[in-house]
Amino acid sequence: MQSILGLRSVLRFASVRNICTGLTRLSTATYEGDGKTSVTILNKEADVGLLINSYSQVGFRLSNDMVVLGPMALFPRTVLSWNVESHEDINEQSLSLFAALEPKVDILIVGIGDHPMTPAFSKKVISFMAKHKINVEVLNTEQACATFNFLNAEGRVVAAALIPPVTMRINEDDMMRRQISKSKTFEVEDY
């Protein structure tokens, strides 16, 4: 019995070793580069379109270094000011811009700031956009920014209607970035 168990473990180990060795040979044989690795920073690429780099209580900073104050309607290559004050102002009239566009967007991402999303509100927005055959996702602004960036980088025809949050969560990364930028403010460049 022990010899059978020992044989199984040897076969299992041999099979795994052979697979790993074969994969190593396969992967090294197919690499034909110059040995250097390149990294692409997504929001620095011109062909990706506009991405949201950051947001605050007063607005948004885009990948082209443009700062948008207040709510905005964002498309892959265009940004517009969106005339709403809060999520309570989102209605058929404020969303009619997205319904009137040609070609139609695949999906509209609605960022409602940091207000809690209610099923009644989501249903109202989704039913209006469904009349115009536009998919819609209602999220808080933080999630909406990330979703827009992902879908835009994927090449989808996407639009976002975003309201800046009223309150911001600050974490350790934010504090560290603030300290770094503050220390760089007082640096003197050599001429």
Residue 129's closest CA among 153, 81, 96?
96
pLDDT at 10: 44
pLDDT at 11: 46
Delineate the domains of the chain, giving CATH numbers in brackets: 42-163 (3.40.1230.10)
How far is CA 128 from each of CA 73, 119, 135, 158, 159, rounded to the nearest angstrom?
Answer: 17, 14, 10, 17, 16
Question: Which phi and psi angles does 89 have, rounded to 5°?
Answer: -85, -5
pLDDT at 191: 60
pTM for the model stands at 0.67
Q: Are strands 158-163 and 72-74 parallel, antiparallel or unpaired?
A: antiparallel
How far is CA 40 from each of CA 48, 87, 155, rounded to the nearest angstrom?
Answer: 11, 36, 16
CA distance 99 to 105: 9
Task: Note down pLDDT in tens along the chain; length 191 residues.
Answer: 554 544 454 444 444 444 444 444 444 445 565 666 555 554 555 567 899 998 999 999 999 989 999 999 999 999 999 999 888 889 899 999 999 988 889 999 999 988 888 888 888 888 999 999 999 999 999 999 999 999 999 999 999 999 999 887 777 777 787 788 777 776 766 66
* Residue 145 and residue 109 in contact, taking contact as beta carbons nearer than 8 Å: no
pLDDT at 109: 96
pLDDT at 107: 95
Burial class from Cβ neighbours inside 10 Å (0-12, 13-18, 19+) for residue 53 reads: middle
Burial class from Cβ neighbours inside 10 Å (0-12, 13-18, 19+) for residue 8 reads: exposed
* Residue 160 and residue 144 in contact, taking contact as beta carbons nearer than 8 Å: yes
pLDDT at 124: 87
